[in-house]
Structure 1
């Protein structure tokens, strides 16, 4: 595998052994609504392809640095950025006052147009980022050479419509920019049930206590989100739960799903298997799924994170052959 990778990228064995990862650089990205945000770029002098990583809810893109560095060392360019309302993009937990789902997806398009135009692109989305990645692939799937979805889920649009109705009612009384503890409890309140007695309220993220503690101690992680973000997100989830919309993703695009077997976001594997089936039923010919035994939501911060990073690299190598 490594020899084939080196032959494709033009890197000899000796050169490959000498390559060290370069630190990420920051690049200003202009948005379609005249904002500017910063993208992280782990560049490579002769990239095989570009890997675009999109993070999940209430976290930020720099948490993916170990994966980005490993992919860079293997010959890939890696780009990532914070979604609106995440990391350094304020107000915290808020996409926009309107059209938030569309604007978040358009930010991804701007990153790819400005940083990835000269190479094949593989999109990797985690959790909320996996949902946004599906929305992107529905619109711009012809830009992609592969799609990787981490910690994802699939269920009936009815559940999402009910959630959106609750958020809309709360918005009438509290305003769209209110960071909603009610929506947070309704969405995540039961996630720790399987892990009682729980050490923290975020035990569902990982079996690795150190990683859970880092998440809790990070001021850019674990925050609540606004009612308008929830309305936007539920609207996006309704969109991607429709088989007719999933059918707009190119049928021959390689798609790999992976998750922890005990991930409550993916209904302990049930929702991930349902997503694989929904994609297969909508005409996709190359969909595979891996569930890691005993693991929880953040596979890149799990006890077997090194194994998962290597498997991601293996899958990417297969996708760009």
Structure 2
């Protein structure tokens, strides 16, 4: 719910486009058939807030066409409630898509004005649809961490409203950087940002392990390789899914005239611990840092989560190398995929 304002902003950046969004609501209580009264009230309160957002967007003439899904999960452990089941949410949102193309774009990303022009051009959209095995990479940027909040927001606005010459200037002046350039450069290095800045035509990108771009491909491509729901929190969820697209011989190509820019926001509890930003301790951070005794050692629930993510990713990569990988999607996803009329 703390990212819903980003969803509203994203919808306003994509007038006329279809947007499918999944909102997550964890409900902490001992497992049982019925919700506790406090959780019943929380569900109703959340539904009302989301209805307000939906109505505001629906009654506007210049926003996206929104499908909003509210997904709740009853969990007995507060640490588990702090780890968003990100891939299960992505799959749920995917099921609500009825357009031939789909772009997995995290809600905290801003869209360049140029992308809106591409999506409004039937010829360009048709060309992307016809390249059925292609993944069209949208290079992602973010403001530099040393900037104050207002300067960072101004940088984002300048980047999405400007052209590539503006992007190059912001990068050179250390206002803007390649996404995760400081902590995980292999996630986007393959795009070759310097080449992209001068490119006038799409060009092929060679997949490399660790690559995790955002981009556009056919909905059918995502249905062949949806997201593995064993991932929660913030480790290797997207890396593994992009690897699975490469596994089914998806070709990657950089779009030369569209891009994304990350909008600054408060980190999730898991990301706060991962990046060492736990100065202001929250209940969620404390739940993840709870010490537990596991297989003969004292560790934390966060470290167990991280280990689970890394082992799960390694297991998936090994299965791909052996030619036998199938993402774990769960009964709910399979049931919906097999029964929804638009599939």
TM-score (norm 2): 0.28
Q: Which has the higher contact order (CA 8 A, sep 6+)?
A: 2
Question: Larger C-alpha radius of gyration, 1 or 2?
Answer: 2
